[in-house]
Amino acid sequence: MKKTLLSVIALCAVSSLSAQIVLNSTDFPPIGFSQNMTTDTTIVTQPISKTDAGAFVSYWDFSASLSTGKNYTSFYMAPIDAPYGSMFTSVSNIALSPADSSGQSYFFNLSPSSLIGVGGVFYVDTVAVPVIFQDPVKVLDFPASMASPTLMDTSIVDMTFPAYNAPGVIDSMRVKQYSTTISLFNGEGSLTIPSGTYNALRYLKMSNNVDSIWIHAITSIGPFIAGWNFHSGDTSTSSSYEWWTKQTGHAMSIFKLEYDGNDALISKVWFRDNFVGISENINNVNVSVYPNPATDNITIENQNITTQNFIVSIKNIQGQVVISEKINFTGKHLINVSDLCNGVYILTLQNDKENYMSKIVIQK
């Protein structure tokens, strides 16, 4: 949980090589910014050793070691607009949703001096579990550069959620993680990934985690007494490298490698491009979507599409398809969105030749 949070804002959140890269709070992506990310699944076939990732060089070229895997789009938004956001408005001033390919959301407090993770919405199976962290997670101190001191931080994530694996016996579980993390910038140079070459800072994080699990029994049965029972405890270590840049227009990490306690690669995530917005196009498709924000209906207007048969789909920020239609698209097409809840959605219009994508907002 905590190690995911430490990396997620970078993944979803630079001068020339002769000048030092410095990240400030004013460089952070604003509300309304969004970007396309990829979780690369080629961990076994295209591994990157921790030794190679951590080599003290002035350039890194991972373009041949990365492939497009599970794509998602992350949005920086006001906390109240994110799922379960009303729970976090008193402690957060910016949210990232979805923050990773699993659809989780994270909430932060951004100040001139630091970026602090204060909570998140996690998914246990398909159940959403909103959590305000008992001890917040410090992501960055500002200004951040190669001259920054080593950051030492502790955090506590304590979450309780329904349990369905033993109906009538166990009704909930509690997981608590205590983490100690050491973070430092230990490299600066040129990073090449499939989306381009960037001047970047490399950020190393090393964590020690203590996990404890309790289960809540409805009645005394077998080894359980009615009430809370300690189930198990575990310790683990993990580490990661992230490459931060300002070359995308804002301070964000465009590449992350995560390793387990045995230094085996377990995750690769990289930045693809900034999100294509309203009235912009992909592959020369010129489409308008309005009104935006919308209440009951949206209109898709064809301006120069050369083919007519399309599939139009709308996904929520968890990546779930909430509307999907096959249309014969000639001039205008009306879509009823009255059943959708308030929030941010992704509309795509595509066939085998053309593709269009935009962000829409439902506000009632």
Report the pLDDT value the prediction gives residue 124, as an integer from 0 to 100.
82
Q: Where in the chain is the domain with CATH 2.60.40.3080?
A: 287-362
CA atoms within 13 A on the CB side of 144: 36
Which alpha helices (DSSP H) does 37-159 contain, by range? Answer: 50-53
Q: How many residues does the chain have?
A: 364
User: Of 151, 150, 157, whose CA–CA distance to 136 is shortest?
Assistant: 157
Report the pLDDT value the prediction gives residue 8, as an integer from 0 to 100.
46
Q: Please give the average pLDDT of every successive group of 10 residues along the chain, which has 364 residues.
A: 49 47 93 84 87 85 88 83 88 87 86 97 85 96 95 95 79 95 95 94 97 94 92 96 92 94 94 57 62 88 69 78 84 89 80 71 81
Structure tokens given for 286:
């010129």
3-state SS string for 131-197: EEEEEEEEEEECCECCCCCCEEEEEEEEEEEECCCCCCCEEEEEEEEEEEEEEEEEEEEEEEECCEE
Report the pLDDT value the prediction gives residue 55, as an integer from 0 to 100.
83
Given 3.30.200.20, 1.20.59.10, 2.60.40.3080, 1.20.1070.10, which CATH number is that of 287-362?
Answer: 2.60.40.3080
What are the strands of the beta sheet with 309-316, ordered from one edge? Answer: 321-328, 309-316, 343-350, 355-362
The sign of the torsion formed by the CA atoms of 243, 8, 234, 207 equals positive
pLDDT digits (tens, 9 = 90+) for 142-195: 999 999 999 999 999 999 998 876 677 889 999 999 999 999 999 999 999 999
Question: Per DSSP, what are the bridge partners of residue 204?
Answer: 184, 241
Cα distance between residue 169 and residue 184, in whole Å: 46
DSSP state of 53: H
Q: What is the percent of the chain with per-residue pLDDT over 90, rounded to a whole number?
A: 48
User: Of 13, 6, 12, 72, whose CA–CA distance to 41 is shortest?
Assistant: 72
Report the pLDDT value the prediction gives residue 81, as an integer from 0 to 100.
78
Question: Count of CB atoms within 10 A of residue 279's CB?
Answer: 14
